[in-house]
Structure 1
Amino acid sequence: MISFENWLETNQSNLNNDVYGLFKDSLRCFKNDIIRPAYLLAYQGMLLALREKILIGKMPEGFVEQEWRKICKEITDDGSWDEKTYDRVVQKAKDDGSKPAILNMSPFVREQFQYWRKLRNVCAHYKDFDFIPAHVLTLYSFIISYLMKISVEGGAASLLMEFKDYCDPSKYSPTTPLNPLISKISDMVDVEEMEDFINSVVIVVAKSHNRDYNAFLKALLFLDGANNESVKSSTLIYIKSDIERRNRFIEANPELVGYILETPVEIREYWKKFLKYSQHPYIIVDSLLENGLLPADEIEELFYLLLDEGYESGRALLDIGEKELDVLKRHGYFEIFLKSYFNESYIKKRYRDICYKTDFYISHLSYLEIDAIFVKKMVELFSELPFPYTLRDRIRDELWTAEPFKSHFEKIVKENEIKIPDDFLQ
């Protein structure tokens, strides 16, 4: 569990100076084994924080303006504010539903305040009572777990309103980062409410056209800290609850495909049905291969699917860096290209069609290792008609004249005594 000191520093901006100061003083006392003051200061800080939540909260339905002003006045009286605040904290909703509780929290949490109050009185008045560090630590734990979740509207509702304000361009610049609000989620939203909250807050961000919706989801998925697990799991559930939403997220974050697709069935279904629509297929394949998420007996099948789609669409080998290139080479992608798409039988049967597929071919050929097999195939294909003349012209103009392609090619020819026609590539 996060320590009270870490929690306090993380939430400093969410606490007023008086509350922060009381909690800070409590910690100083605790570290110096001054246990009773440590408890009393922490308790006082907690009540002061709850008083502020009432004062800044929106008057709940069931109250009238005059009554609400009277409550706010009572809890700011210097002589009795702590007692009056405690009364409002433990105040329950009326049984007939005519009036809600002032502060929104679960019955279990509300009942705990009676315990903390009794312990506070024991701490202050009964010197014979053996007050130990565990009493302070349990109060710290309670504050960490629940203080930020309590408000007049409820922690989740209050935070959702903050997100709405941040996403309102009339109140905040679209460049204002959402990270400060994102970091509050686990503190202000109960685990039981988390899925509903994530659904609601994502809608708020999605409606704000100035915010990157998928970047927001990614930020939720990668929050640091064990206490954010419910945020991450609820976000993953949200992303995967709709196939189109899931696919859009993967398209925006192709390197995360293995994080989103968790089972072999999900992974296979994705690349069989949806990979062909991606603008980043090779980044996705790289992620699957490097994370060991593709069975060995499915890799060749996947490569054929990539190559078939690339050929049919005439698409170049786009969006590929050195890392992705290395992965493809190590797993035999280019060997399959040479064997199935750059052989004499295949090309001479389709030479007319291939004239319109030169982007596909040139982009693959430019990444191939120049060896004897490749050189012999080139000579076989372009020594006798028919062959795709537009592909020949592009090989001559873009590859043959470039270094180190030409020098490597000529070196292989010489070393292997390969005969080249005089009009080769002319």
Structure 2
Amino acid sequence: MKIPFLKWTEEQNFSEEAKSLFNESGECYKASAYRAALLFSFLGFQTVIKDRILEARTPKNYKDGEWSQLQKSLLDDDSWDAAVITIVNNKKKPIFSLNEDLINQYMYWKNRRNDCAHAKGNEVGDAHVESYWLFLKSNSLKFRVNGSKDYILEQIKEFYDPNLTPPNASINPLVSQIPHSIDRKDLEGFLQDLKEITASSFTILNSNKSSVWFELLDLEYYSKEIIKFLMLKENEPFAIAIINLNPNYVKYFQGESSFIRSMWNNFYSPNDYRILLNLIKNNLIPLEELEECYTHMFNHVESDLFSENSVWGPINELELEILKDTNFFNLFYTKAFKESHISRDFNWGNRNKYLVIKYIEEFQMDYDIALVIKDCEHRNYPPIHLNKLLIDFFKQHSEIEDKYKELLLPEIPEESNMLE
């Protein structure tokens, strides 16, 4: 069976030399030669660090000549390993953004490597090798020149450059590196920089660069911190832009009641019905506020989602059941037909035209509906878009039109009553 650590190394952008050393470490591990396994693993990571330094541009706190001299010290086969250790441990002029604890961990494993290389008395077993592998998987990305934060941001910029990245590429492998690259204390600064990269001068969030935010929110490791960042007052419009692009992601805003209420109180786009459905699915609107919310939708939001040709849908059976169970259609019946909003206010009728059709399809025609539809025909300012839709609907559903006409027939008294 393949050792999970070796599978991980294959997925990394390591040089062939480094991968070869890691593979040799794996062979030693399988043969229970744990000292050799740890030694080769450490040497493999040293090679990774060396490669990154040699490939990197001059850091901010170095001059070009000084940086070239440091890189040259890594080309000597006899001393490059010691030079890497010195560079990592250089706290006066660091090239990596490493905290004190991480440097101490690195030096601990350097000392364990020395135990292996010089046959010192300290015992080295399989647990040491596996622990070092876990250390590498958790922290290797932090050993980046100029800091892993800058490196990740640069990689994201390159990902969204169509000249460098094919359109069908997934950003998931890059996002999966972030928990191992960005410390929580640096996360807000990273997110602010990321926001600037993915923002557009015309829209709050560039839809072509939104995937990184969706992948980030799906990372449980950082989800709370990301929501906290998005809930900063200046970032709320950005949060709404994320939700507009993928309404399913409103589920991550559980507990942000003020934000949720403010959001639905500002619903005006047909797509907002899609967001509303996700709010209800995730119980994000208190039951006592639902009627107020639904009334806002009827008064302000086009009902295109309820059209069979909706670009935002169409609404499915499960979603219809959710609306039925939460009194949505009962309230609509009262507003539209009992209170005659579709005939008394032509804007209201036109706005909710697809909801009128969907209601008739789901609940059938009755006298109150027939009466107010008839009233729509005779208004001085009729809801012309609703009326046209109803004419087309009746043409396609003759049985419903027959029912409509039957309900409006004048009541004929019985013969006995007429004689009296």
Q: TM-score, normalised by structure 1?
A: 0.79
Aligned to 2:320: 325
How far apart, in 2, do the equivalents of 1:321 and 1:372 lie?
16
Cα distance per residue 1:311-369 (max 9 Å; x no partner):
xx7988564412433322332322222222213x636xx84643x55433532221124
- Equivalent residue for 2:213? 217
Matched, 1:308 2:302: no
* Residue aligning to 2:190: 197
Structure 1 residue 25, shift from structure 2 partner: 2.5
User: 2:357 maps to which residue?
Assistant: 366
The structural deviation recorded for 1:208 is: 9.3
- Residue 109 of structure 2 corresponds to residue 113 of structure 1: no
Residue of structure 1 in register with 2:140 after alignment? 147
Residues 387 and 221 (structure 1 numbering): CA distance in 2 closer, same or farther, change over 3 Å?
Answer: same
Alignment match of 2:285 (pick from 285, 290, 294) = 294
| Partner residue in 2 for 1:268 | 261
C-alpha deviation, 1:172, in angstroms: 5.1
State the secondary structure of the residue aligned to 2:270.
Answer: coil
Say if 1:155 and 1:189, in contact at 8 Å, map to a contact too. Answer: yes
Q: How does 1:105-254 map to 2 (within 5 A)?
A: 105-126=98-119, 128-168=121-161, 177-206=170-199, 212-223=208-219, 229-230=221-222, 232-241=223-232, 242-254=235-247
Q: Once the two structures are superposed, what CA deviation does each residue of 1:242-298 show, in whole Å capped at 9, x if it has no partner?
A: 222222222222222232353334333332x322x2332221221122222333332
Instruction: Find out whether 1:282 has 2:273 as its counterpart.
Output: yes
> Which whole-Å CA distance do the structure 2 matches of 1:182 and 1:163 have between them?
9
Distance in 2 between residues matched to 1:162 and 1:304, nearest whole Å? 46
Contact 2:207 2:245 in 1 (8 A): no
- Kept after mapping to 1: 8 A contact 2:53/2:145: yes
Q: Distance in 2 between matches of 1:137 and 1:262?
A: 40
Deviation at 1:56, TM superposition (A): 1.5
State the Cα distance separating 1:12 from its structure 2 match.
Answer: 2.9
d(CA) in 2 for partners of 1:340 and 1:353? 11
Which ranges in structure 1 are unaligned for 5 or more consecutive residues? 94-99
Change (3 A) 1:279 1:262: farther
After superposition, the C-alpha distances for 1:212-242 in whole angstroms (9 at most, x for unaligned) are: 233331122124xx6xx13x33432333222
CA contact (8 A) 1:379 1:420 kept: no
Residues of 2 paired with 1:218 and 1:307: CA distance? 30
Distance in structure 1 (CA, Å) of the matches to 2:114 and 2:362: 86
Matched residue type, 2:242: F
- Following the alignment from structure 1 to structure 2, what is the Cα–Cα distance between the partners of residues 359 and 385? 11
- Match status 1:346 vs 2:340: yes
Same amino acid, percent of matched pairs? 23
In structure 1, what is the Cα distance between the partners aligned to 2:42 and 2:377? Answer: 89
State the alpha-carbon separation in 1 of the partners of residues 274 and 230 from structure 2.
20
CA distance in 1, matches of 2:5, 2:163: 34
Separation in 2, partners of 1:381, 1:152: 72
Kept in 2, the 8 Å contact 1:375–1:413? The answer is no
Q: Which residue of 2 aligns with 1:420?
A: 409
User: How far does residue 122 in structure 1 lie from its aligned partner after superposition?
Assistant: 1.5
Give the total of aligned pairs: 396
Q: Contact 1:221–1:235 at 8 Å: present in 2 too?
A: yes
In structure 2, give the amino acid aligned to 1:139: Y
Question: Aligned-pair distance for 1:18?
Answer: 1.5
- The secondary structure found in structure 2 opposite 1:342 is helix
Superposed displacement of residue 196, structure 1: 1.0
Structure 1 residue 412: Cα displacement: 9.0
Deviations 1:95-132 (A, max 9, x none): xxxxx124442233223333222222222222654222
Deviation of 1:177 after TM superposition, in Å, equals: 4.8
8 Å CA contact 1:4–1:140 kept in 2: the answer is: no
Query: Over the residues paired in the alignment, what is the CA RMSD in angstroms?
Result: 3.6
Distance 1:9 1:365, change over 3 A: same
Contact residue 316 and residue 359 of structure 1 kept, 8 A: no
**For the residues of structure 2 that align with 1:134 and 1:292, how far apart are their CA atoms?**
46
Contact preservation (8 Å) 1:340, 1:346: yes
Residue in 2 that maps onto 1:25 = 24
Compared CA separation, residues 6 and 43, structure 1 to 2 (3 A): closer
Q: 1:69 to 1:385 in 2, by over 3 A?
A: closer
Alpha-carbon distance in structure 2 between the residues aligned to 1:54 and 1:316: 54
CA distance in 1, matches of 2:363, 2:123: 87
Find the counterpart in structure 2 of residue 407 from structure 1.
399
CA–CA distance in structure 1, aligned partners of residues 13 and 392 of structure 2? 61
How many Å separate the matches in 2 of 1:58 and 1:84?
A: 18
Q: Which runs of 5+ in 2 are unaligned?
A: 412-420
* Conservation of the 8 A alpha-carbon contact between 2:250 and 2:278: yes
Report the CA distance shift for 1:265/1:11 in structure 2 as closer, same or farther (over 3 A).
Answer: farther
Where 2:284 maps in the other structure, the secondary structure is coil
Aligned mates of 2:54, 2:237 — CA distance in 1: 44
Residue 394 of structure 1 is matched in structure 2 by: 388
